[in-house]
Amino acid sequence: MSKPLDFYYSPTPNGWKISIMLEECNLPYKTILMDLKKGDQFTSNFLRISPGNRMPAIIDYDTDIPTTIFESGAILLYLADKTKKFIPSSKIGRKQVIEWLFWQVGNLGPMAGQHSHFWNYAPELEKNSYAAVRYAEEYDRCFEVLERQLEGRHYIVDEYSIADIICWPWILIAKSMGRSLDSFPNVANWRLRIKERPAVRKGVDLMRKKKD
Ligand SMILES: N[C@@H](CCC(=O)N[C@@H](CS)C(=O)NCC(=O)O)C(=O)O
């Protein structure tokens, strides 16, 4: 049994990526709930762990000296390598999973994140601005990309992997952010398939009241 990890967390799609992975891998962890509105991410202690002042982040105490990891993609890859779970052992499979991990980091994550900002926080006058529409359409374009990749597949890279875990939380909340998955049946079915996993439900429910 490994030592519990410290998990710096807030119940958002970026936080769920890691709570889901920790539950899927059955790893012991201690949750440190962050109040982002209060500014917990700017404390000097947290900035030493996550220099970009963003959660999620973890500390692994199972190593010679405690290992800090920030950025959800890096954390997922670290945990997959640590546990040898949710990443293929073949070189080609690993390469494919890392491609989709990077795709989320550079595409789905930032577009959904910026859309979420406009949707939740922009002043009314800005809601239909060029920038707001651009992010919404780019978010939709990511659905199209996933729709093609999921054609004839149950998961992004054949077997359920960290590629699914990193993308899924941003698709879970698409409808609640005014986007429709009606034209993307492969994505909609994949969303439901993953939602049924007990570890996923546990991860999404961590310190959060049910909404979706
Ligand atoms: N690229 C980062 C994004 C993380 C992120 O945006 N976290 C937000 C909450 S969802 C945060 O900590 N925001 C605090 C801030 O920006 O001050 C990742 O994937 O880990």
CATH 1.20.1050.10 domain range(s) in the chain: 91-202
- What are the pLDDT digits (tens) for 67-108? 999 999 999 999 999 999 999 999 999 999 999 999 999 999
168 residue type, one letter? W
Residue 114 pLDDT greater than 60, yes or no: yes
- What are the pLDDT digits (tens) for 2-34? 899 999 999 999 999 999 999 999 999 999 999
Instruction: Give the position, in ligand 1's atom list, of the atom nearest the Cα of 75.
Output: 20
Question: What whole-number distance in Å separates Cα of residue 87 and Cα of residue 73?
Answer: 13
Q: Which two structure tokens, joined as six digits, stand for 83?
A: 């546990």
How distant, in Å, are the alpha carbons of 87, 89, 91 from that of 95?
10, 10, 6
Residue 209 pLDDT greater than 70, yes or no: no
pLDDT for 1? 66
CA of 115 to the centre of ligand 1 (A): 14
Q: Would you tell me which CATH number, out of the four given (3.40.1190.20, 3.40.30.10, 3.40.640.10, 3.40.1360.10), belongs to the domain 5-85? A: 3.40.30.10
CA of 55 to the centre of ligand 1 (A): 5
CA of 191 to the centre of ligand 1 (A): 22
Rg (C-alpha) for the chain, rounded Å, is 17
- What are the pLDDT digits (tens) for 150-195? 999 999 998 999 999 999 999 999 999 999 999 999 999 999 999 9
Please spell the DSSP secondary structure of 75-134, one letter per residue: HHHHHHHHHT-SS-SSHHHHHHHHHHHHHIIIIIHHHHHHHHHHHHHS-GGGTTSHHHHH
CB-count exposure of residue 199 (10 Å: 0-12, 13-18, 19+): middle
CATH 3.40.30.10 domain range(s) in the chain: 5-85
Q: Is the peptide bond before 56 cis (omega within 30 degrees of 0)?
A: yes
Which CATH class name applies to 91-202?
Answer: mainly alpha
Q: Whose CA is nearest to atom 11 of ligand 1?
A: 54
